[in-house]
Amino acid sequence: MSHPHRTQNIAFFFLLLATLLIVVPVGLIVVIIVQKGLPAINGQFLLDIPRQGMRAGGIFPAIVGTVYLVTGAIIFALPIGLLAAIYLSEYSRENMLTRLIKLAIVNLAGVPSVVYGLFGLALFVVFFKFGASILSGSLTLGIMILPIIITASREALESVPSSFREVSLSLGASKWQTIRHIVLPNAIPGILTGTILGLGRAAGETAPILFTVAAFYLPRLPHSIFDQAMALPYHLYVISTQVPNVDEKTRYGTAFVLLALVLVMNIIAVVIRTKFRKKKKW
């Protein structure tokens, strides 16, 4: 005799367990970082330059550097990614070329981040002679998040009902007018979701900025986009492994700031997205 109810309960138990197992690490990370990092947070830590070989002072240059890098990466990747997504979902026909492009995007997403770092070093730093600079780092990060933005934008564009397009076209609007006035406004929430994902990734990665921008120790703000900069993830790596006798508090404080920074960026994007979603009327 089998017991359908017992089998079901066992299945439920494992499903619930698996779900809880996802929550536990996330919760623990947040708890540990907040618990150990929060005491380090004060005005000086956030707004002062690093002192005494990064054992004291603050992390202001690294915060600014990360904000610059992420902003630069988005400025570069969002327009290109969005235009590519529009082309792929609205204009391109299924042929060898578009299949090749789609394959390239999938592969781009699968490239390990350290390879992006090396690529950025070879192309932007050396070949284009941008040197180790915010520009090189932003471009490298931008290329890394391109596939995320393209994929999310394409899905967002394709989820706009085709009936809207037909209505718009049937009223004598051109294809571009239809995309501009009907498809894009309704795809913005999805596009922003992709941008949020890319943003978080760009803020957190260490390898792509390692060779292209990150300064080991630069206790001042960058002067221009051709200047080197400190960045939070790399700074965290440095004070955790390269510099002896750094307070645990300082290390976790840095991690906390990085986490908070990504969170704040996400919240901003979510607020914008909610505003656009409210306008969605179907």
Binding site for other proteins (CB under 8 A): 93-94, 163-174, 177, 181-182, 186, 279-282
Closest distance between other proteins and the C-beta of residue 85, in Å? Answer: 19
Report the residue number, 173 or 221, with the smaller CB distance to other proteins. 173
The dihedral through the CA atoms of 281, 165, 179, 270 has a sign that is positive
- For other proteins, the closer CB: 173 or 269: 173
Q: How many CB atoms lie within 10 A of CB 97?
A: 10
Q: In whole angstroms, give the CA distance from residue 106 to residue 43.
A: 43
Smallest separation, CB 273 to other proteins (Å): 16
Q: Name the nearest CA neighbour of 226 among 142, 136, 144.
A: 136
Q: How far is the CB of 168 from other proteins (least distance, A)?
A: 7
For other proteins, the closer of residues 179 and 199 by Cβ is 179
| Burial of residue 125, with CB atoms counted within 10 A of its CB: 0-12 exposed, 13-18 middle, 19 or more buried | buried
Q: How far is the CB of 221 from other proteins (least distance, A)?
A: 45
Give 168 or 212: the residue with its C-beta nearer to other proteins.
168
Alpha helix stretches (DSSP H) within 87-183: 96-110, 113-120, 134-158, 162-170, 175-178
Core vs surface per residue 61-84: b (16+ CB within 10 A) or e = bbbbbbbbbbebbbebbbeebbeb
Work out how close the CB of 97 gets to other proteins at its nearest, in angstroms, rounded to a whole number.
15
Where are the strands (E) in the chain, listed by range? 50-51, 56-57
C-alpha to C-alpha distance for 148 and 156, rounded to whole angstroms: 12
Q: How far is the CB of 172 from other proteins (least distance, A)?
A: 4
Q: Closest CB to other proteins among 18 and 171?
A: 171
Q: Based on CB atoms, which residue is closest to other proteins, 5 or 278?
A: 278
Rounded CA-CA distance 5/139 in Å is 56
Q: What DSSP character marks residue 94?
A: S
Beta carbons of 138 and 78 less than 8 angstroms apart? no
Our CB check for other proteins shows the closer of 51 and 181 to be 181
Asked whether the CA dihedral 197, 228, 120, 211 is positive or negative, the reply is negative
Smallest distance from other proteins to CB 45, Å: 47
